């Protein structure tokens, strides 16, 4: 499993549609709702937990903790716990995390530049759906 034929750009095409594909799990972690936002935020600078939660907005403490642990386990996030009172924990990106953050940031920029086209497509779709009902 893992890699099939070459994609149009000459890069290996991952077989992420296969439920047992190991790349699929990593892709799910990186592109999850909170994973993307954490990677983008940490791409700017390191954050303490509460700062990161405020910077992202809308994420619960539980989801932020879970997502940070998953990204840390996958090697994207570094957790630096300092033995002080009160405890201080800083989160930053590893080299692998920096590369992933760059990739998802590219997707976020593309999304921003494509928003008008998406909105137009939605209007066309809704118009056709409403007319057929």
pLDDT digits (tens, 9 = 90+) for 52-90: 999 999 999 999 999 999 999 999 999 999 999 988 999
Beta bridge partners of 93: 77
* Entry pTM: 0.81
Q: What is the pLDDT of residue 102?
A: 97
Q: How confident is the model at residue 5 (pLDDT cuts 50, 70, 90)?
A: very low
- Identify the three-state secondary structure at position 81: strand
d(CA 133, CA 122): 17
DSSP helix/strand/coil, 58: coil
More confident residue, 92 or 27: 92
Pairing of strands 77-82, 88-93: antiparallel
Q: What's the rounded Cα separation, in Å, for the pair 99 and 103?
A: 6
């Amino acid at each position: 499993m893992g890699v099939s034929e070459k994609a149009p750009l000459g890069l290996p095409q991952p077989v992420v549609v296969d439920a047992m594909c190991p790349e699929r799990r990593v892709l799910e972690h990186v592109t999850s709702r909170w994973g993307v936002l954490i990677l983008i935020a940490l791409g700017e600078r390191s954050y303490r937990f509460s700062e990161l939660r405020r910077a992202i907005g809308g994420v619960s403490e539980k989801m932020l903790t879970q997502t940070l642990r998953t990204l840390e386990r996958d090697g994207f996030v570094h957790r630096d716990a300092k033995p002080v009172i009160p405890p201080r924990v800083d989160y930053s990106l590893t080299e692998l995390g920096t590369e992933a953050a760059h990739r998802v940031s590219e997707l976020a920029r593309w999304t921003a530049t494509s928003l008008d086209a998406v909105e137009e497509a939605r209007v066309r779709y809704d118009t056709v759906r409403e007319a057929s009902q």
